[in-house]
Amino acid sequence: MLRLGVNIDHVATLRQARYRGFDNGEPCPIDAVRQVEAAGAHGITAHLREDRRHILDRDIWGIREALQTRLNFEMANTPEMIDIALRLKPEAVCLVPENRAEVTTEGGLDVAGQVDAIAAAAATLGQAGIEVSLFIDPDPVQIEATAATGSPFIELHTGAYAEGYSDETKRAAELERLAKVAKQAKSLGLGVNAGHGLNYENTRGIFAVPHLNELNIGHSIVSRAVTVGLGQAVREMLELMEGYPQAE
C-alpha cells in the first residue's frame, strides 16, 4: 500500500499570517494533526525551519505528544536541529536544504557535496532509532551519494514533474527520470518516498514510478481543505492513491 504523509506546515503558515508573535492563534496545527489522522493518513510531516517561519517549537512538541501514527520531521542538517531531533524522537527525519529567501523548499539536498557531514548526521540519528531519509533531486549522482552516507531512505523531489505536468513531453521526461532513479535506489537497497508539488491532478501520474513507499503532500491538501474540510481533503487524496500497482 502506498502511504500518505500529510505535511501540515501550511496550516501554521496561515496561522502565522495573522498571529505571528502571539502565544496562540488559529488554525491550530495540533487540531489539524488529529483531523488528518482521523481521516486515515498514515503519518504527519512537519518542517521546523531555522527561522521558525511557520511550525514553531511549541507546535512540534505538541504534535509529538498528540500523534497516533508517525512523525516525519523535516529539518536542516545543523547541530541545533540534530539536538532537537534526538530529544523529540520522531519515527523519521528527512534532511532537507534550507534557503532563508525561499517560500518553500525549492530543490534537493546536495548530498554528493557533503557526504561526510550527512553520513555523520545519519549515523547519529540512526543510532537513536530514527529512520533517516534525504530529500534529493532525481539525479543518479545524488542516489549514489545517498547510499554512501548510510541513509536508508530517499525522498524524491517531484517538483520538476509537477511544474511540467501540463506539457506532455516534459511530464513524460520527468516521469522517466523519476522511474530510472527509483529503480537505481532500489538496487542499492534504499527505500523510496516522494513529494513536492503533488496535487489532486498529478498524483496518479506518479503511478509510473516504481518502488514508492510513501508520498508526502501538504500544500494541495491544505488548500483543498479550505473548501471541503481537512478530513475530506485527506480522504480524497487517499482515494487517488489507491491501486498503486508497484507499492511494496
Map residue 193 onto helix, strand or coil. strand
Annotated active-site residue 47? The verdict is yes
d(CA 161, CA 149): 26
CB-based contact 162:196 (threshold 8 Å): yes
CB-based contact 220:240 (threshold 8 Å): no
Q: What is the CA radius of gyration of the chain?
A: 17
Map residue 32 onto helix, strand or coil. helix
Q: For 142-167, give one letter per residue: b (16+ CB within 10 A) or e.
A: bbebbbebebbbbbbbbbbbbebbee
Q: In this structure, how many other beta carbons lie within 10 angstroms of the beta carbon of residue 3? A: 19
Secondary structure element (H or E) that encloses residue 227, with its range: helix 219-228
Query: Which residue among 37, 74, 98, 155 is the active-site one?
Result: 74
Query: Which residue among 10, 42, 157, 196 is the active-site one?
Result: 196
Query: Which residue among 10, 42, 47, 54 is the active-site one?
Result: 47
Do the strands 212-217 and 92-95 form a parallel or antiparallel pair, or are they unpaired? unpaired
- The CA–CA distances, whole Å, from 56 to 23, 85, 100, 235 equal 10, 14, 16, 27
Which positions are annotated as active-site residues? 47, 74, 196
